[in-house]
Chain A
Amino acid sequence: MWRTQWQLVQGAITPYIFSVPTVLLTLLAVGLYALGWRRLAAQGRRPSWWRLLSFGVGVLLCYVVMHTQFDYYARFMFFMHRLQHMVLHHLGAFLIALSNPLPIFAAAFGARRFPRLALVWRPLRRLLFDPVVATVLFVGLIFFWLSPVVHFDAMLNLNLYELMNWSMLVDGVIFWLVILDPRDPDDARTSRFGVRFLMLLAALFPQILLGAYITFSDPGLYDVYAVCGRAWPMSAATDQVLGGIFTWIPPAMMTILGALVVLRLYVRHESKKGESHAPSADCPDHSGFRPGTGQL
Chain B
Amino acid sequence: MPRRLIALTTLVFALALASCNNAPVSFHGKDITGVMPDLQFQLTGEQGQTVTEQRFQDKAVILFFGYTHCPDFCPTTLTSLAQALKKLPEQTREQIRVMFVSVDPDRDTPELLKKYTGYFGPRIVGLTGNKEQLDTLTKRYRTTYGYDEPDENGNYLVSHGLAMYGFDKQGKVHLFMRNDQPVDQIAEDLAALAGL
Which residues of A are in contact with B by a Cβ distance under 8 Å? 16-17, 72, 75-76, 127, 130, 132-133, 136-137, 140, 144, 149-150, 153, 155-158, 163, 223, 226-234
Q: Is the CB of B178 closer than 8 A to any CB of chain A? A: yes
Given contacts A133-B4, A231-B159, A233-B157, 12 further A-B contacts (CB under 8 A): A130-B7, A136-B8, A150-B19, A155-B142, A156-B176, A227-B162, A229-B144, A229-B160, A229-B162, A231-B144, A232-B146, A232-B148
Task: Tell me, in angstroms, the Cα distance from A156 to B33 when the chains sit together.
Answer: 12
Contacts of B36 in A (CB 8 A): 156
Q: Which listed residue, B19, B142, B162, touches A226 by the CB 8 Å rule? A: B162
Q: Is the CB of B112 closer than 8 A to any CB of chain A? A: no
Asked if A140 meets B15 with Cβ closer than 8 Å, knowing A76-B144, A133-B8, the reply is yes
Contacts of B143 in A (CB 8 A): 228-229
The answer to whether B4 touches A132, judged by C-beta atoms less than 8 angstroms apart, is yes
Cβ-closest chain A residue relative to B138: A229
Task: Tell me, in angstroms, the Cα distance from A223 to B138 when the chains sit together.
Answer: 18
Tell which of A137, A140, A229, A231 has the most Cβ of chain B within 10 Å: A229
Majority secondary structure of chain A interface residues (helix, strand, loop or mixed): helix
The answer to whether A133 touches B162, judged by C-beta atoms less than 8 angstroms apart, is no
The answer to whether A232 touches B163, judged by C-beta atoms less than 8 angstroms apart, is no
Within 8 A of A (CB), among B49-68: 65
Contacts of B18 in A (CB 8 A): 163
Q: Is the CB of B158 closer than 8 A to any CB of chain A? A: yes
Task: Tell me, in angstroms, the Cα distance from A140 to B159 when the chains sit together.
Answer: 33
Q: Is the CB of B192 closer than 8 A to any CB of chain A? A: no
Contacts of B15 in A (CB 8 A): 140, 144
Task: Tell me, in angstroms, the Cα distance from A157 to B21 when the chains sit together.
Answer: 12
Asked if A232 meets B8 with Cβ closer than 8 Å, knowing A144-B15, A156-B32, A163-B18, the reply is no
Contacts of A16 in B (CB 8 A): 139
State the Cβ distance, A266 to closest chain B Cβ, in Å: 25
Contacts of A233 in B (CB 8 A): 146-148, 157-159
Selected A-B contacts with CB under 8 Å, 5 pairs:
A149-B19, A156-B32, A156-B176, A230-B159, A232-B147
The answer to whether B19 touches A229, judged by C-beta atoms less than 8 angstroms apart, is no
Chain B 127-153: CB-based contact to A (< 8 A → 1; otherwise 0): 000000000001100111111100000
State the Cβ distance, B4 to closest chain A Cβ, in Å: 6
State the Cβ distance, A95 to closest chain B Cβ, in Å: 26
Contacts of B145 in A (CB 8 A): 229
The answer to whether A230 touches B19, judged by C-beta atoms less than 8 angstroms apart, is no
Q: Is the CB of B161 closer than 8 A to any CB of chain A? A: yes
State the Cβ distance, A80 to closest chain B Cβ, in Å: 12
Q: Is the CB of B35 closer than 8 A to any CB of chain A? A: yes
Q: Is the CB of B25 closer than 8 A to any CB of chain A? A: no
State the Cβ distance, A135 to closest chain B Cβ, in Å: 11
Contacts of B196 in A (CB 8 A): none
Task: Tell me, in angstroms, the Cα distance from A144 to B13 when the chains sit together.
Answer: 12
Contacts of A150 in B (CB 8 A): 19
State the Cβ distance, B107 to closest chain A Cβ, in Å: 15
State the Cβ distance, B144 to closest chain A Cβ, in Å: 5
Contacts of B12 in A (CB 8 A): 140
Task: Tell me, in angstroms, the Cα distance from A163 to B157 when the chains sit together.
Answer: 34
Cβ-closest chain A residue relative to B66: A229
Task: Tell me, in angstroms, the Cα distance from A149 to B21 when the chains sit together.
Answer: 12
State the Cβ distance, B56 to closest chain A Cβ, in Å: 22
Chain B 26-51: CB-based contact to A (< 8 A → 1; otherwise 0): 00000010011000000000000000
Contacts of B8 in A (CB 8 A): 132-133, 136
Asked if A228 meets B178 with Cβ closer than 8 Å, knowing A127-B7, A133-B7, the reply is no
Contacts of A228 in B (CB 8 A): 142-144, 161, 163
Contacts of A137 in B (CB 8 A): 11
Cβ-closest chain B residue relative to A231: B146
Cβ-closest chain B residue relative to A149: B19
Task: Tell me, in angstroms, the Cα distance from A17 to B139 when the chains sit together.
Answer: 9
Tell which of B32, B35, B142, B146 has the most Cβ of chain A within 10 Å: B142
Q: Which listed residue, B4, B148, B161, B176, touches A130 by the CB 8 Å rule? A: B4
Task: Tell me, in angstroms, the Cα distance from A231 to B176 when the chains sit together.
Answer: 20
Cβ-closest chain A residue relative to B148: A233
Contacts of A155 in B (CB 8 A): 142
Cβ-closest chain B residue relative to A123: B7
Contacts of A149 in B (CB 8 A): 19
Q: Which listed residue, A76, A132, A229, touches B65 by the CB 8 Å rule? A: A229
Contacts of B21 in A (CB 8 A): 153
